[in-house]
Each structure stands twice: as structure tokens, then as C-alpha cells.
Structure 1
């Protein structure tokens, strides 16, 4: 192949220009022996074609794990199952709804945090009546198993309750100290009438008579025997609230209070 060179002075360099239509290069492939056919389908790795093994857990292997979860929960026995809780909440909601629909103004439903959270959520969703919802925090237990008898409001309402009917929603009423403190607090805020709707009522522990305001009523889900119960919002040291049922806490899970 002949190449024409044209030199042009460009500084100290030389510009070389190649032909505009060079002869094409010829590429030749070497002949190779044909590869033997594969016994595997295309794009499939032999490792992927091996039969999968299924790991089956025997009942003996599952039982220890289930027992461990039950022991960690610390529940001695179940008082009310999830189904029983749901059925009773529906009954209480129907009774409450009938009373609230007869009122001229929408009431304010006040949940006592944090124990009443689950009960209030299930309750108001079944009440076919206009209402407002707010929360208040009244503390008296701390990490113990018996009310200290000295409740105090640590987080107040945002909704104005002056001149309105208020329904206090509790998880459990035992000594009555916390509830009486809250009723007095709401009355000072100008509530015209106050009802109480508690999931559990433990009259065996009652120390204070509950004084309702105006034409308020007392609603309850279950009468609770004198056990320390947890689940469905109720706790011990902030645990067990997420259980869908109500159970009795094992005594070894907590230190007995001097009040027992």
C-alpha cells in the first residue's frame, strides 16, 4: 500500500496525511473444532438444576421455641381471649353510641394514656355518632403493680371541654384515685357532665367512691378479679401492652409491692 506524505511546517511538528480511501483490511478467523453439545439447557447453570431440598421442622424442634416465647411473655393464664375482648367492646360501644346520639352536642371522648389507647381506638370506631377525641396523661403507677395513691396530671388536654359532655375512657379502674383526680380536673375545666367508660373494673381494690358529674353514666367491659393483669393496652413497666388478650402476670415477673 502506497502512502503519500505531505509535510507542512507547523511550529516544529510535521503533519502526516494518510490516503482518504485506504484499502480495507481482511480479517480471517481460524477454524476450530466444533464443541460437543451440552447436556444442559442454554443459560442454565448445572448448579441451578440440582433438586432443591426442603427443610422440615419436626414438632420437637418447634416446641422449645414456642415454650420460650410463652415464658418470655410472663403470662400465667388468659382471663379474656382476643375474641371475647372484641365481642364485649362491641356491646359497650353499642350502649355508649345510643346514649351519645341522644345528646344535642358532640361529646369529647378523653382517653387516659397510655393504657386506654387500644380500648379507645376500638371503641370509638364502633360509635356511630359525632364526637371529638383527646388524650390526657395521669400517672400513679410508675413501674409498680399497685397504684401509689398520689396521681397527677402530667399531660393535659388540647380540646376545650367547657360546657361539653365528656366521656373518660380508662383501661382499668381499681382504687379510684386516678379517676377521681381526673374527674375533678375536668370539672374545673368546665365540663357540664362526665361519664366514665372503663374496659375493666376492679371493685375489690376500690378506695374512693366514683362521683360522676351531671347526668354522666358508668360503663364497663368486664369486672376484673383481684389479679395484676396485662395486655390490650395494660402494662407492667411499659411491657405487654401489645398483647391482644388480657392475661394474669406471673408473680415472679415483678417484685411485690409493700402495699400487697
Structure 2
């Protein structure tokens, strides 16, 4: 992609939720997570790359002891459609008997998140909860009724970027949530 195309995507995009709305959603998520997990000494896994922005905004709002690590599982790479799950970095911390919180940018179809949750359960986590900034509204989830435990915003079924979500590797760094024009 050339720079003009990258800039054009942002200029033509529809802003679905501005920075202030995302901040308010993160505040609500943090309050909900704290209420649920403040006495559990959780292990928080940030899903790379999308979860970096979400975690960077969310974790400082959690005012209780927690451990932070990362994992890298992807179905997208620099593509706009998901493929086979690829573990780039598996979780390394001992999860036996621990409460685990998975932090990611979006719950779209949920195949990646479902695989991560299953992996953590198989490693002995006592509970695995998930937090996503965006839940995409549609009926193509990995299994019927799938949802994250903590959700910031519900968003229409469009190709999104911002707040960790990317367009062909770019625009993760914006806090607002945008939809690509025509997609």
C-alpha cells in the first residue's frame, strides 16, 4: 500500500465512535472488570497485535493487583479476511488455578478468541474471561450465543479499524472506531 492510499482510507472512513466515546466505554469496562475480578489476582493476557491499544488504555484503569503478559495468535496477518489460526507466541505463564482475563480489540466471528480461551482452560485456568473494546453485531460467531464477558461498544457489521484494529496493517493507533467506506 502506498501512503496516499493509507491516508485516503482514513479521509473517506466513517467515524462510528470518536475518542470520547471510546474513553467512556473503556471506563465502563474497567469498572465492570474491577467489580468482577478485583479479589482474584488475575493473569491478564493481551492478544497481539490488536489488543495492544485496548490493553494500554484499559490496564491503567484497573486499580487492583494483576499480572500482565501477552500472546500472539492471528488469523489475519496483513489480510482483510481471516484464515487458519496461527500461534506466533503461545502463553508462557502457569495458569493452573488462576483467573485469566484475555484482552483484545474486537470480537468479530470469534474463532481466534474461542481457540485462546480453550487453550487457557486446557492449561488449567480456573476461569477464563474475555474483554474486547468492540463486539461486531452479526450472526456468524464461532458458536451460537458467543459473547465476550466485558464489551465496550457494539458496532455494526462493517470493516473496522482503530483502537487496535487495522486496515492492512495501518491505523491501529487511532483511538476512535472507524469503518472503511463501502465495506
1:152-171 to structure 2, matched below 5 A, reads: 152-171=86-105
1:48-87 matched pairs, under 5 angstroms: 71=8, 73-87=10-24
2:43 pairs with 1:108: yes
Question: Cα offset for 1:146?
Answer: 2.5
Question: Is the contact made by 1:108 and 1:167 (CA closer than 8 Å) also made in structure 2?
Answer: yes
* Rounded Cα–Cα distance in structure 2 between residues aligned with 1:211 and 1:130: 31
The answer to whether 1:97 aligns with 2:31 is no
Structure 2 residue aligned with 1:134 = 69
Q: Which of 181, 192, 214 is the equivalent residue of 2:126?
A: 192
Larger RCO of the pair (alpha carbons < 8 Å, separation 6+): 2
Say which structure is richer in strand: 2
Matching residue within 8, 21, 25 for 1:88: 25
Query: SS of the residue aligned with 2:150?
Result: strand
TM-score, scaled relative to structure 2: 0.88
- The whole-number CA distance in structure 2 between the counterparts of 1:120 and 1:112 is 9
Query: C-alpha displacement at 1:92, in angstroms?
Result: 0.7
**Corresponding residue for residue 82 of structure 2:** 147
Listed as ranges, the gaps of 5+ residues in structure 1 are 1-67
Name the CA shift for 1:73/1:157 in 2 (closer, same or farther; >3 Å): same
Partner deviation per Cα, 1:235-255 (whole Å, 9 max, x = no partner): 12211111121111234xxxx
Q: How big is the alpha-carbon RMSD for the aligned residues of Structure 1 and Structure 2? A: 2.3
Q: Distance in 2 between matches of 1:187 and 1:82?
A: 34
With normalisation by structure 1, the TM-score equals 0.63
Tell me how far apart the structure 1 counterparts of residues 127 and 158 of structure 2 sit (CA, whole Å): 32
Q: How many residues align?
A: 178
Partner residue of 2:60 out of 106, 125, 135 = 125
Aligned partner of 2:180 in structure 1 is 249
Runs (4+) off by over 3 Å: none
Please state how far the C-alpha of 1:205 moved relative to its aligned partner. Answer: 4.9
SS at 1:204's partner residue?
Answer: coil
Identify which of 94, 107, 127 aligns with 1:173.
Answer: 107
